[in-house]
Amino acid sequence: MGADLMDGREKGLKFGVVNHYHNHHHHNHHFLLPSLCCTKISAHALTVALIGAWYISNIGVLLLNKYVLSNYGFRFPIFLTVCHMTACSLFSYIAVCWMKVVPLQPIRSRSQLLKISALSVIFCASVVCGNISLRFLPVSFTQAVGATTPFFTALFAYLMTFKREAWLTYATLVPVVTGVIIASGGEPSFHLYGFIMCIAATAGRALKSVLQGILLSSEGEKLNSMNLLLYMAPLAVIVLLPAMIVMEPKVVAITIALARQDMSIIYMLILNSSMAYFVNLTNFLVTKHTSALTLQVLGNAKGAVAVVVSILLFRNPISVIGMVGYGLAVFGVILYSEAKKR
C-alpha cells in the first residue's frame, strides 16, 4: 500500500510538473481535457443507468405480475395483458410521434401490415401464456424455463430458414434443456398447466424473434423495435379484446368493484403497465448503446437476479435439485452465447 501511495505521489508530482509546463505553453488545451473526460464519463454513466433501468423494469414487471396474478388473487391474465398493450400503445405514440425518440417509420404496404399483424398475434399470445404461467408457477421456475429461449430460437431458425448453426452451438443447448428438465423434476410447486403455458410463452418469444428476422428483413420493411411496438401494441389490443370478453367476461366489473374497496389495484395496474412499456424502451436503448450480445449476457444475469429476488420476496419453497437444474441451464445459455460469437 505504502509503495502504491509513493507511486501515486510521484505520479502526481510528475503530473503537476507536466501540467504546469502545459499551462504555461498551451492555454487552450486546458479547456479540452475536462470536457472530453466528462463526455466519456457521462456516456459510461448513461450506459450504467440504462442497464440499471433495464434491470429494475424487467424484474419489476415480473414480480408485480406475479404479485397481482397470484398473491393478490387478481386472476385475469388476458385483462392484464390488455392493460400492458394499451400502455405500450400510448407510450409508444408519445415516444415516437411527440418526443421523437426514434424517427417514425411508416408502414409501406398491405403485406407489411399483415406481417406486423402476424407478429403481433404471436407476441400477445406469448405474453398471455407467460402471464397465465405466473399464476400457477413461482417466478424462479418460470425463469428457468425462460432460459430455454435459445433452444427454441435455434429450432425455429432451422425449421423456417434451414439455417444451421455449428455443431458446437447445438451442443451447448443440451445442458440448457437438461437443466430445465432437472429443475422441473425438482420444483416443489410444479404445476403441469402452468408449465405448458410457460413453454408456450418461451416458444412464442423465440418464434416472434425468428419471424421478425425473416418478415421484416428487406430494407424497405425493416422496422426498429420502437416502431414495431408502436404498430404491434394496438393490434395486440384489438386481438385480445374479443378473447378477454369471451374468457374473462366480468373482469371490468370486478376491477371496478375492487377499486371501490381499495384503490391500490388501480395503482398497481397502472404501475405494472407503465413498467411493461419501459421494459421495451430500455431493451431498445440498451441494445442501441451496447449491443445485442451484451443484452443476451445481461439477460442471463437478469434471470438469476429475478430468481433470488422472487425467492426472498415470495418465499416460495425451493429445492436443491431445482437450483442445480437452473444453474445448469444458465451455464448452458452462457456457453451458447459464447459459441454463437465464434
d(CA 334, CA 328): 10
3-state SS, 34-59, equals HHHHHHHHHHHHHHHHHHHHHHHHHH
d(CA 327, CA 300): 11
> Torsion-angle region of residue 197: left (phi > 0), alpha (psi -120 to 50) or beta?
alpha
pLDDT of residue 38: 65
Residue 233 in contact with residue 88, Cβ under 8 Å?
Answer: yes
d(CA 63, CA 61): 6
CB atoms under 10 Å from CB of 184, counted, come to 19
pLDDT of residue 35: 55
**DSSP-derived secondary structure for 258-289:** HHHH-THHHHHHHHHHHHHHHHHHHHHHHHHH
Number of residues that this document lists for the chain:
342
pLDDT of residue 37: 57
**What are the angstrom distances between the C-alpha of 127 and each of 25, 121, 208, 233, 341?**
64, 10, 11, 12, 29
pLDDT digit of tens for each residue in the chain (342 aa)? 444 433 333 333 333 333 444 444 444 444 444 555 567 788 889 999 999 999 999 999 999 999 999 989 899 999 999 999 999 999 999 999 999 999 999 998 898 899 999 999 999 999 999 999 999 999 989 998 998 888 899 899 899 888 787 888 889 889 989 999 998 888 888 999 999 999 999 999 999 989 988 887 777 778 888 999 999 999 999 999 999 999 999 999 999 999 999 899 999 999 999 999 999 999 899 888 887 777 877 887 888 898 899 889 988 888 899 889 999 998 988 888 888 877
d(CA 239, CA 105): 23
Nearest CA to 79 out of 234, 235, 273 is that of 273
pLDDT of residue 121: 95
Prediction pTM value: 0.81
